[in-house]
Amino acid sequence: MGPQQDVFAEDGARARQALVTEIARTGVLSDPAWRAAFEDVPRHLFVPYYFVAGTGGYERLWREDPDPARRERWLRGAYRDIPLATRVRDGQLISSSSQPSLMAEMLDALDVRDGQRVLEIGAGTGYNAALLCHRLGEERVTTVDLDPEITESARAHCAAAGYRPAVHTGDGARGCPERAPFDRIIATCTLPSVPPAWLRQCSRGALILAPLSTGLILLRVRDADHAEGRFLPGPAYFVALRGATPPAPRRRPSGLPRRAAQNDLFAFLLELTAGSLDPHEALSLWQRERRPRRERYGVTVSGGRQWAWLDDPEGPYVWPLGTLQPDWR
């Protein structure tokens, strides 16, 4: 059974081509296979409604609006290079469709090869899973989410676009052992640390790409107990993974210089060291090392331990993820 009839197909195709051209100008989508996926998969089918933040709360835009002007606004918004809020509960954002250019960057960094199997953590709208299906084939794509309403919607959206990946409802921190092993794992939700179950479900040499702090960590898996890698250069902001235990909310510490407190790279370090390093210690490190960028940091997972580091996993600046005492070596 093919895709359902789409009355917005023609206008959507034009808007989609404009979006792809815009993303390509940033230097991503150089791989023809990924460019073809973004050109062919209609994003508007995955966001039949979404929410726009305003002064009075969230405004809902949807494809069935009786006002033609609002329907047009909905379609234009579906092809803007911005994240779209798709589920709001009690005033809190619980699910979204990520910014397309960031999705393209992540998929490019995932470095997939023909024949590989991919696990996605955080089904969202299903759009990212559909892009993976276009690139690899639907039988090689698995997506997991904790919320049954989200997985039901993702499955329906993918089917409307002509794709049927394996969509599972469950705790993303546990992975999907019945579909393992995986050659790639990609998460679209922020983590406090790397779930050990993921490594056990990976093939040797697999890659894991996941948001951590306000960056993207790319880990190479050596075996079921060991993985290591560095952060990508750019920032990344995602909804937190539900099912894992997040760190306690951290208030902006007082007594820090305003310029440091407002700096994105220092905020990244603060989040990465939360619960492990005093904020003023973090500030001293940051200043001493000349305000290091994200790609100088990395993460090592080994034998049940996880630690973040600056420049060298065996160097002087090392601290555990998710524990209370810094581990300076």
Catalytic residues: 95
Nearest to 209 by CA among 328, 316, 93, 128: 128
Q: What's the first-to-final CA gap in the chain, in angstroms?
A: 59
CB atoms within 10 A of CB 294: 23
Q: With contact defined as beta carbons under 8 Å apart, do 154 and 126 qualify?
A: yes
- In the block, tokens 């960031």 appear at 102
- Dihedral sign of CA atoms 44, 45, 49, 51 in order: negative
- In the block, tokens 């790409």 appear at 209
User: Which amino acid, one-letter code, is at 266?
Assistant: F
The C-alpha angle 44, 48, 52, rounded to 5 degrees, equals: 95
Q: Give CA–CA dist 112/117, Å, rounded.
A: 9
Q: Give CA–CA dist 173/91, Å, rounded.
A: 25
